Structure 1
Amino acid sequence: MERREAVIKISWILKSVYLAPAIFTGLTSCKSDVSSSHLYVFSENQDKLVRAIADTILPRTETPSASDVEVNLYMDLMLKEVYDDAYKDSFLKGLQQFDENCVAYTDNRFFDLKEAEKLDYLNRLDTVAYGEERAGLEPFYRRFKELVVAIYFSTEEGVKQNLKYVPIPGPYEGDVEVTAATRIMKGN
Structure 2
Amino acid sequence: MVGATMTLPGLGSSALADTLEASAAQRVATGKPVLFTADQDALVAELADVIIPTTKTPGAKAAKVNEIIDVVLKDCYKQPDQQRFIDGLTQVQKMSQDAYGKSYTQLDNTQKIDIMKKLEAEAKQQRAEMARKVEGQQDVQIPQAKRNATPFFVMLKDLTLMGYFTSEIGATQALEYVAIPGRYDGCVPLKPGQKAWAI
Deviation at 1:134, TM superposition (A): 2.7
Instruction: Please give the alpha-carbon distance, in whole angstroms, between the structure 1 residues aligned to 2:44 and 2:94.
Output: 14
- Which structure 2 residues correspond to residues 1-188 of structure 1 after superposition, within 5 A? 29=21, 33=25, 34-35=27-28, 37-130=31-124, 133-135=128-130, 136=147, 137-171=149-183, 176-187=188-199
Alpha-carbon distance between aligned partners in 2 of 1:88 and 1:159, rounded to the nearest angstrom? 27
Per the TM alignment, residue 146 of structure 1 is displaced from its structure 2 partner at its CA by 1.2
The one-letter code matched in structure 1 to 2:128 is E
Which sections of structure 2, spanning at least 5 residues, go unmatched? Answer: 1-12, 131-146
CA contact (8 A) 1:130 1:142 kept: no
Max Rg structure: 1
| Shift of residue 31, structure 1, vs aligned partner | 10
Residue correspondences, number: 167
Query: 2:71 and 2:190 mapped to 1: Cα distance?
Result: 38
TM-score, length-scaled by structure 2:
0.69
Which moved further from structure 2: 116-125 or 69-78?
116-125
List gaps (5 residues or longer) in structure 1.
1-20
The answer to whether the 8 Å contact 1:165/1:185 transfers is: yes
Report % sequence identity.
Answer: 28
Could you tell me whether the CA contact under 8 Å between 2:97 and 2:103 is conserved in 1? Answer: yes
- 1:69 is paired with a residue whose SS is coil
Q: Kindly report the root-mean-square deviation, in angstroms, between the aligned alpha carbons of the 2 structures.
A: 3.1
Deviates more, 1:126-135 or 1:139-148: 126-135
- Distance, in Å, in 2 between the alignment partners of 1:76 and 1:141 is 16
Tell me what 2:134 maps to.
none
Give me the whole-angstrom Cα distance separating, in 1, the residues matched to 2:32 and 2:170.
Answer: 22
**Bigger mean CA deviation after superposition, 146-155 or 97-106:** 97-106
Higher relative contact order (CA 8 A, sep 6+): 2
TM-score normalised by L of structure 1: 0.73
